[in-house]
Amino acid sequence: MASTACSRLLVANRGEIARRIFRTARAIGLRTIAVYSDGDAAAPFVGEADEAVALRGVSAAETYLDAGKVLDAARRTGADAVHPGYGFLSENAAFARAVIDAGLTWVGPPPDAIAAMGDKLAAKRLMAGAGVPVLPSAEVPGDDAPGAADAIGFPLLVKAAAGGGGKGMRVVTSPDQLVEAVASARREAGASFGDDTVFLETYLPAPRHVEIQVLGDQHGHLVHLFERECSIQRRHQKVIEEAPSPVLTPALREAMGEAAVAAARAIGYCSAGTVEFLLDGESFFFLEVNTRLQVEHPVTEAITGLDLVREQIRISGGESLGYEQDDLAIDGHAIEARLYAEDPSNDFLPATGVVEVWEPPAEPAARFDSGIERGSVVGVDFDPMLAKVIVHAPTRTEAALRLALVLERTRLAGVTTNRDFLAATLRSPEFLAGDTTTDFIERVAVAPARLPSGDELATAALAVAMRSQAANRDGAGVLAFVSSGWRNSPMPPEELVLERDGTELTVRYQRRRDGAFDAWVDDDSARVRVLGVDGDAVDLDIDGRRTVVTAERHGDRWHVHGPSGDVTFVARPRFPELGREGVAGGQTAPMPGKVVAVRVAPGDEVEPGQVLVVLEAMKMEHQVTAPEAGVVSEVLVAVGQQVENGALLVVVDAD
């Protein structure tokens, strides 16, 4: 490890984590260097760095996972330190060694510590030897998944040995699912980590996911920064994290903290890292060590007052921690929500599009770590996380309710997100009661999307009409001496037809002599007075009820944001598009993505649930299965083909 302070820091990552590291680096006087893929050339993090180097390529493998390109960028810019962020090369021991061998400071743990934990199966053996509780597991030798499963039993979990973040992980409840699950996990692990080794582990159906943040310096000092609970997950990826856990007693917190420090000490750890556990009642089991910064590190920063990136940089320069375990304490409660471009109504599958509206609220107070801005393109090449939103409050209930309100008040449109699902989860009785095991999403079944009330839709429609009327008038060049709404003959009301999710609303309005409007939304009438228009914000009095609503137009779409969230309308009827009509038995792509496997051919007989095609998007796989028994009559895609959402893949003629 280096023992001198750095002055020019290259961040070998992208998006919100790069921006977050830049923020701390600037605060402590470092110049910053970004690297970027072709698709990220216009991304906010690139413009925020003092310098940026193109890695020339589109996919992660061509860019952020190419250690040679990253090191060449460091050489070309005169960087003297490299911070890997999380994901990509952050847990690649060979890359860490290459950075050090190049004479640069590696802002992370020793390569040997990364290597020791890089293989999750070997890590479990090492932890068992250090006295840390572990779950039974078995490596999958070659193609003998059934043989390995015999040692574990069902249900079990297929896991990527080099993995993390839920990638390369599958739950298997019966033997007939095993071979396909192992094959799918191998592909996903290879694409995400460059290593397709997988192993099997006993599956606990409803534990809590509790992790301990550790910090160690190069002088042998190790402390833990208490726990984070990250139990609310879909596809084994976290969506809400909090610190501290709502269920840990002081005694259990101490025991888990001591186990985490013992695990870190067993591998000679220094820098920031996380020891993850599954908590089942009062029993806890080692899961893995993440030898890097975690996505959810801000909640630990909030309750301890420490900047973990600053601590990483200090430690990499040879500085001592300067504090002991007894100097650390928990202050209040912090919760983080991960804002993803995904559709909770469609099994949380990734969504793509352009971020047309992005405006975090001025209050309540919250921290936004985001990788987007207006106009950002959300594609299929990288993780769909748009931002992390963090709230710190004196109590857990206050933190949850404030975070829900922050999410509701965030203006975000142009791409489907999980924002409404997150807000509903935070307000749910189960979450507020701390009933947050890993089966929370399936068990509690929070509404995947918010359904606006009739009054809210009417208010949004009137806001569009009034904003449109004001915009038309501003652009009309009406003479100042002609009063608004003056006519030399009676005129019928103005009319605007808006469509939302296949349902039309007809808005009609007519100005009165007193400046107000008589308005109708379908058959419901209202007296509307426009109290002010400031940009896209419209201050309305509707039948004596005052509200401020923003209405922003993008082409034929109006994005409306009110006190409860967003509503999007199309400003004219959608005409049917010419093209192939729905095909009986046709199975379509549920998301845009790349075809990574085709399991059937014309003439094959299939059973209900049989896998037809496997798609990959944003490093996650999705299986398209047969809804019923039948015979495959058409296969319209091939491996390697890129398909759009809704594209016809396979036609199955029912028996």
Q: What is the DSSP string of 192-256?
A: HHS---EEEEEPPSS-EEEEEEEEE-TTS-EEEEEEEEEEEEETTEEEEEEES-SS--HHHHHHH
User: pLDDT at position 620, please?
Assistant: 66
> Are 252 and 150 contained in the same domain?
no
Whole-number Å distance between alpha carbons of 577 and 601? 30
| Confidence (pLDDT) at 164 | 66
Does some domain include residue 118?
no
What is the amino acid identity at position 123?
A: A
Q: How many CA atoms lie within 13 A of 453 on its CB side?
A: 6
* pLDDT score at 578: 36
Give the number of other Cβ atoms within 10 Å of residue 635's Cβ: 18
**52-61, 181-190, 474-483: range with lowest mean pLDDT:** 474-483
Q: Could you report the per-residue pLDDT of 525-553, keeping only the tens digit for each?
A: 999 999 999 999 999 999 999 999 999 99
Q: How confident is the model at residue 382 (pLDDT cuts 50, 70, 90)?
A: confident
Asked whether residue 122 is domain-assigned, the answer is: no
What whole-number percentage of the chain has pLDDT above 90?
A: 74
CATH number at residue 59: 3.40.50.20
State the DSSP H helix or E strand holding residue 460, giving kind and residue range, or none if neither.
helix 454-474
Domain for residue 127, yes or no? no
Average pLDDT over residues 365-384: 91
Cα within 13 Å of Cα(338), Cβ side: 24
538 lies in a domain?
yes
Rounded CA gap, 123 and 160, in Å? 13
Q: Mark whether 176 and 294 lie in a shared domain.
A: no
What CATH code is carried by the domain that includes residue 512? 3.30.700.30
- β-strand 105-106 against 81-83: which pairing, if any? parallel
In a domain, 194, yes or no: yes
**454: its two tokens:** 């009739």
Position 488 scores a pLDDT of: 53
**pLDDT on residue 372:** 94
Domain count, the chain: 5
pLDDT of residue 621: 78
77 & 164 share domain: no
Instruction: Read off the pLDDT of each residue in 646-650 and give the average, rounded to a whole number.
Output: 88
Average pLDDT for the chain: 91
Same domain, 328 and 420: yes
Domain of 596: which CATH number? Answer: 2.40.50.100
Task: For 318-371, write each residue's pLDDT tens digit.
Answer: 999 999 999 999 999 999 999 999 999 999 999 999 999 999 999 999 999 999
Q: Does residue 503 share a domain with residue 616?
A: no
Residues 179 and 327 in one domain: no
* 604 and 499 share one domain: no
Asked whether the predicted pLDDT for residue 474 surpasses 70, the reply is: no
pLDDT score recorded for residue 194:
80
Residue 511, amino acid? R
% helix, strand, coil for the chain, step of 5: 25, 35, 40
State the number of CA atoms in the 13 A half-sphere of 326 facing the CB: 0
641 and 603 fall within a common domain: yes
- Over the stretch 606-642, which tens digit does the pLDDT of each residue have? 888 899 998 887 656 778 988 888 899 899 999 988 8
The answer to whether residues 321 and 370 belong to one domain is yes
Q: Could you identify the residue written with the tokens 């995904």?
A: 342
Task: Write down which residue in 157, 186, 202 finishes a domain.
Answer: 202
Q: Mean pLDDT throughout 158-172? A: 83
**Residues 478 and 412 reside in one and the same domain:** no
pLDDT in tens, 477-505: 544 444 444 455 556 889 999 999 889 99
> Is there a single domain that holds both residue 529 and residue 637?
no
Residue 3 has pLDDT above 50, yes or no: no
Domain termination site, one of 444, 468, 486: 444
Residue 270 within any structural domain of the chain: yes
- pLDDT value for 576: 40
Q: Is residue 123 part of a domain?
A: no
- The domain in which residue 615 lies consists of 586-654
The answer to whether residue 19 scores a pLDDT higher than 70 is yes
The three-state secondary structure class of 353 is strand
In sequence order, the 6+-apart residues with CB closer than 8 A to the CB of 104 are: 2, 74, 79, 80, 81, 82
Could you tell me if residue 575 is inside a domain? Answer: no
- Both 264 and 333 in one domain: the answer is yes
Round to the nearest angstrom and report the end-to-end CA distance of the chain.
66
Predicted model pTM: 0.83
Q: What SS3 state is found at 150?
A: helix
Give residue-wise pLDDT tens across range 410-447: 999 999 999 999 999 999 999 999 999 999 999 999 99
Phi and psi torsions of 370, nearest 5°: -125, 155
Residue at which a domain ends, from 444, 476, 506? 444
State the Cα–Cα distance between residues 371 and 58, nearest whole angstrom. Answer: 17
